[in-house]
Every structure is written in structure tokens, then in C-alpha cells.
């Protein structure tokens, strides 16, 4: 099977020296790419900036902004049987980019932000993707309820949900504890390394028949 995986944060530039970003090491997405490749699948990894090595044998596309990630996914989605959107995409970007570095001027600075394109939300209705679709949900409360809402709105086959209010898992950690939220049930995976969790997710992704 062919997997398309997004990973890492995006960077939304304000000026040549500054950007808005999300907390994300990219480890979960890179672990998914490695696990899928290890299982004999073809993998396209579309990633924002991270400090990680690209798993051997994976096709890699580097992007910076949400807009670049959107365009890369749009162009590559036709090759995929399974898409796992794990990236921590910035939801907002500065309305204006300043070609010159913004100088200190006054005690307050107001920056106007606008929405970035919703990549996961575009997969079915804009890109026409008919394969298996898996999204991630980072929540701080009502994890399962919010994830189920996301599952329905974005027409996913399942959502990998985690509680980002906990400091021992997720984000910069090597471990994670997630729930796989399906339309009719939820499966809780025990706390484990991101590599082991990735193996479970890939296994579930390959058995869904659409």
C-alpha cells in the first residue's frame, strides 16, 4: 500500500527573522513513516522543520508553512491508499509578511492573524481522497468527545487522540498514550514509545476496507 504521512510543525513567517509555530518534535509522524516502511509499504513523508533523520527508503518532501503543506498534500494525495495527517499545522498565520525585520516601536504590538487552510478537512471534499483517512487530535479536555466530533466533521476512518495537558506524554516526549477513536468504538492503547504506538496505528490503518 502507499502511505502519505504529514509530520512536524509548520512555520508561519512574520518577517525574515520571526515566525509563529506549534510545539511539535515530529517524532510521532516520523515513527509512523518508519513503521509503514518497515512493514513493506511505500511512504511519502511531508514534513515541516524538525531535527529528525528521515527514515531510510521514505520519499521526503520538506515544507515550511501550512500553505506549502496544503499544496504538497494536494499534489501527492492521488498516489496514496492511506493518509495519516499527524502534522501540528498552525491554525493561523500573519495576514501580512514584512520584508524588513519589524523594529521595536511602542510597548505593545498587535499582529493580525488569518486562518490557514484545513488540510485534513480538505481531503475528502476538496481533494477527492477516497482512501483510508486518519487524523490526529490534540486535546486538553473531553478528549474522546472532541475527537469523535472531529472524526465526523473531517470524514476520517479513525482519529488518534491524545491528551496534551499531560507533560509525561505527547509533544516533546518519546512516549505517548493515545486512544484510537472509531465511528462506533474507542480503543485505548497503553502508554508506550511512539515507535510501538506507530506500529499499532499502521496495523489498524491497513485492515480498514473502504
Measured distance CA(86)–CA(133) in Å, rounded: 11
Q: How far is the CB of 104 from ligand CTP (least distance, A)?
A: 31
In the list 24, 25, 116, 176, the residue contacting ligand CTP (rule: CB under 6 A) is: 116
In the list 72, 87, 151, 205, the residue contacting ligand CTP (rule: CB under 6 A) is: 87
Q: How far is the CB of 123 from ligand CTP (least distance, A)?
A: 8
Active site residue 142: no
- Please report whether residue 59 would count as binding ligand CTP according to CB under 6 A: no
The secondary structure of the chain, three-state, reads CEEEEEECECEEEEECCEEEECCCCCHHHHHHHHHHHHCCCEEEEEECCCCCCCCCCCEEEECCCHHHHHHHHHHHHHHCCEEEECCECCCEEECCCCCCCCCCCCCCCCCCEEECCCHHHHCCCCCCCCCEEEEEEEECCCHHHHHHHHHHHCCCCEEEEEECCCCCCCCCCCEECEEEECCCCEEECCCEEHHHHHHHHHHHHHHCCC
| Residue range at the interface with ligand CTP (CB under 6 A); choices 39-47, 101-109, 114-122, 198-206 | 114-122
Q: How far is the CB of 143 from ligand CTP (least distance, A)?
A: 11
Measured distance CA(14)–CA(11) in Å, rounded: 9
Q: How far is the CB of 193 from ligand CTP (least distance, A)?
A: 20
If you search the block for the grid coordinates 509548520, which residue do you land on?
A: 10
| Residue range at the interface with ligand CTP (CB under 6 A); choices 52-60, 81-89, 182-190, 193-201 | 81-89
> What is the number of the residue whose Cβ is closest to ligand CTP?
119
In the list 120, 180, 198, 202, the residue contacting ligand CTP (rule: CB under 6 A) is: 120
Measured distance CA(66)–CA(62) in Å, rounded: 12
Q: How far is the CB of 43 from ligand CTP (least distance, A)?
A: 17
In the list 30, 127, 129, 136, the residue contacting ligand CTP (rule: CB under 6 A) is: 136
In the list 42, 59, 64, 118, the residue contacting ligand CTP (rule: CB under 6 A) is: 118
- Please report whether residue 11 would count as binding ligand CTP according to CB under 6 A: no
Give the residue numbers annotated as catalytic, written as ranges: 22
By the criterion CB under 6 A, which residues form the site for ligand CTP?
Answer: 6, 66, 85-87, 89, 91, 116, 118-120, 135-138, 150
Amino acid at each position: 500500500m502507499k502511505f502519505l504521512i504529514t509530520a512536524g510543525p509548520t512555520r508561519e513567517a512574520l518577517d525574515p527573522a520571526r515566525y509563529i509555530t506549534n510545539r511539535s518534535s515530529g517524532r510521532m509522524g516520523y515513527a509512523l513513516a518508519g513503521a509503514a516502511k518497515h512493514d513493506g509499504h511505500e511512504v511519502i513523508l511531508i514534513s515541516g522543520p524538525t531535527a529528525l533523520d528521515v527514515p531510510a527508503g521514505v520519499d521526503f518532501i520538506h515544507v515550511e508553512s501550512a500553505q506549502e503543506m496544503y499544496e504538497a498534500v494536494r499534489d501527492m494525495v492521488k498516489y496514496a491508499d492511506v493518509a495519516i495527517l499527524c502534522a501540528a499545522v498552525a491554525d493561523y498565520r500573519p495576514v501580512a509578511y514584512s520584508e524588513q525585520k519589524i523594529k521595536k516601536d511602542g510597548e505593545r504590538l498587535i499582529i493580525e492573524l488569518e486562518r490557514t487552510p484545513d488540510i485534513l478537512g480538505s481531503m475528502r471534499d476538496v481533494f477527492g481522497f477516497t482512501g483510508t483517512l486518519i487524523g490526529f487530535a490534540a486535546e486538553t479536555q473531553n478528549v474522546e468527545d472532541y475527537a469523535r466530533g472531529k472524526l465526523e466533521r473531517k470524514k476520517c476512518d479513525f482519529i488518534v487522540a491524545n491528551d496534551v495537558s499531560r507533560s509525561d506524554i505527547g509533544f516533546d516526549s518519546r512516549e505517548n498514550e493515545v486512544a484510537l477513536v472509531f465511528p462506533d468504538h474507542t480503543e485505548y492503547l497503553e502508554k508506550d514509545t511512539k515507535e510501538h504506538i506507530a506500529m499499532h496505528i499502521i496495523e489498524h490503518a491497513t485492515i480498514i476496507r473502504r
